[in-house]
Amino acid sequence: MAENLLRASGLYHVYESQAEEGNVVALRGLSIALQDGEAVAVFGPSGAGKSTLLKTLGGLMKPSAGVVRLGGEDVTRMAPEQLVRHRRATVSFIFQEGNLLPHLSARDNVMQPLRHAGVPYREALVRVEEILEYLGIADRAHALPEQLSGGEAQRTAIARALITRPRLILADEPTGSVDPVTARSIMDLFSRLHKEQDVAFLIVTHSEMVSDFADRSLELQDGRFIAQHGDDIELEDLAQTRELLLGGDGQLTLTPDLLAELGGAGRYEVRDLRRHRLTLSRVSDERDTHCAACNTPFDDDGVQCAKCGAVRG
């Protein structure tokens, strides 16, 4: 079996804190695999651990436990100098704010990674001009970051990420700081890169638009993957045990895959109720056709009444 481009297993990351609440566990035993040329989105609420996951996978921070293999190499055991060289040859990052150097032009910002890699100036200049032309911002090459629009600045950041010809791009909310029109153009560009240059993407996001672009999406909650969507599902990526959230109002939230395994929405009987344990049994596969509250007909797959919001039995 071919080596994955990216494979992580048993990832934990703990932020130590002197606060009364104690340490914060950001990642809880995560596993994930990514193939060459694959696009994966990770989405979830703020505080779920998305940015921590991205930085850990890219070697920007070491996990408290677990292993990350990038391009077949264990980056969690690499010396700093070796890690920098390996990361430079394999992966690039795109952050929400772009992180462009304010005193350098767009062209010089894009050229920076090639300078660090020791690429001769003339060769670097040709490559920079080609990538700026490819991304449609060649006419903004000499503009400073403060003179660029949000979309131009993000395209410059994308050009800088691509200039080293990475196999993988790790992106943190790449459309989070731009307007919807610009966000759509960025995602169209990602799709083009994905198809034409076979670039692999792992994107953490709140955006459904980004999730739609991906081959599959992983839902992250409280440091664990709780659901996965797409055609090429990797069951090993999901936690061995599943966590559900029971709110103070008594509402129990089920993820779509668990709801499907349970048999869908319907009426369930409590067969066994003990402390820390609840067993449910479906009463009948017959579902109400009309709302019990207002007698409005339900849609075929509707869970809530379109008129009054009552939950279908």
CB 87 within 8 A of CB 70: yes
Task: Identify the DSSP state of 65.
Answer: E
Domain that holds residue 282: 263-313
Same domain membership, residue 168 and residue 44: yes
Q: How confident is the model at residue 259 (pLDDT cuts 50, 70, 90)?
A: low
Question: Per the structure, how many domains does the chain have?
Answer: 2
Least confident span in 130-134, 172-176, 198-202, 300-304? 300-304
Same domain membership, residue 233 and residue 305: no
Can you name the residues that pair with 15 across neighbouring β-strands? Answer: 24
Same domain membership, residue 309 and residue 202: no
Q: How confident is the model at residue 7 (pLDDT cuts 50, 70, 90)?
A: very high
Does residue 139 belong to any structural domain of this protein? yes
Q: How confident is the model at residue 283 (pLDDT cuts 50, 70, 90)?
A: low
Please report the pLDDT score of residue 284 as a whole number. 58
Does residue 309 belong to any structural domain of this protein? yes
Q: CATH number of the domain that 18 lies in?
A: 3.40.50.300
Can you name the residues that pair with 40 across neighbouring β-strands? Answer: 202, 216
Q: Which of 99, 59, 49, 66 is nearest to 80 (CA)?
A: 59
Does residue 253 belong to any structural domain of this protein? no
pLDDT at 293 over 50: yes
CB 169 within 8 A of CB 91: yes
Same domain membership, residue 178 and residue 94: yes
Answer with the residue of higher pLDDT: 206 or 147. Answer: 147
Tell me what the mean pLDDT of segment 95-110 comes to. 87
> Which residues, 6+ apart, have CB-to-CB distance to 260 below 8 Å?
none
Please report the pLDDT score of residue 1 as a whole number. 41
Rounded CA-CA distance 298/292 in Å is 10
Rounded CA-CA distance 134/192 in Å is 11
Same domain membership, residue 14 and residue 163: yes
Same domain membership, residue 90 and residue 202: yes
Least confident span in 111-125, 142-156, 170-184? 170-184
Same domain membership, residue 232 and residue 269: no
Q: What's the mean pLDDT when you consider all of the chain?
A: 80
Q: How confident is the model at residue 98 (pLDDT cuts 50, 70, 90)?
A: low
